Amino acid sequence: MRRRRWAAALSWPPLLVLLAACGVEPSGVAGAGEAPTGVAPGVTLYFVDSSLRLQPQLRQTNHLGSISDAIPLLLFGANESGLHSEIQSTGSARAEVNTFPGLIQLRVPLSLREVSPLGIDQLVCTALGVFIQGGGDKTTKVQVEFTDATPESDKQRTCPLFR
């Protein structure tokens, strides 16, 4: 009786090996590339709430657009949403944008006195948000260049919301 149990017990491992070898062969790791960024219904702009915190606001444009498209929308101001901007309105809303590996240079038609530190964050977060949504590197920094000579124009910044 014991021999039959041992024989039955010993017959299972070879049977399991045969079942496990069902013809599927191992393969190497297949790269999938970058994550998809999807279709955007608009561009995300960053404004300030009554508690002085940055808040995203989707501006319906039916496409993601570029940083050059987003900055004029930001400079135009917030919708009727209870949010406001810490950037003074100017007659010109054009911004010059240059991108380099790891850096976005954003030349705005503003002097430093027309923008609070939170307003600078609005510019940086809006530019980086569009850049990242479009598939850009999340570690990229933004350099905001003002119309007046100021050391603030030399700083490379990140969005405080994306850390």
Q: pLDDT category, 33, cuts 50, 70, 90?
A: very low
Residue 22: inside a domain, yes or no?
Answer: no
The DSSP bridge partners found for residue 106 are 97, 144
Residue 135, token pair as written in the block: 């598939």
Q: pTM for this one?
A: 0.74
* Residue 54 is assigned to a structural domain of this protein: yes
Number of domains in the chain: 1
**38-76: per-residue pLDDT in tens?**
566 889 999 999 999 999 999 988 888 899 999 999 998
Domain of residue 72, residue span:
42-154
In a domain, 84, yes or no: yes
47 falls within a domain: yes
CB-side exposure of 2: number of CA atoms within 13 Å?
0
Q: What is the percent of the chain with per-residue pLDDT over 90, rounded to a whole number?
A: 59
Query: Per the domain annotation, does 17 fall within a domain?
Result: no
- pLDDT number for residue 15: 46
In-domain check, residue 106:
yes
Residue 148 lies in a domain: yes
Q: Is residue 112 part of a domain?
A: yes
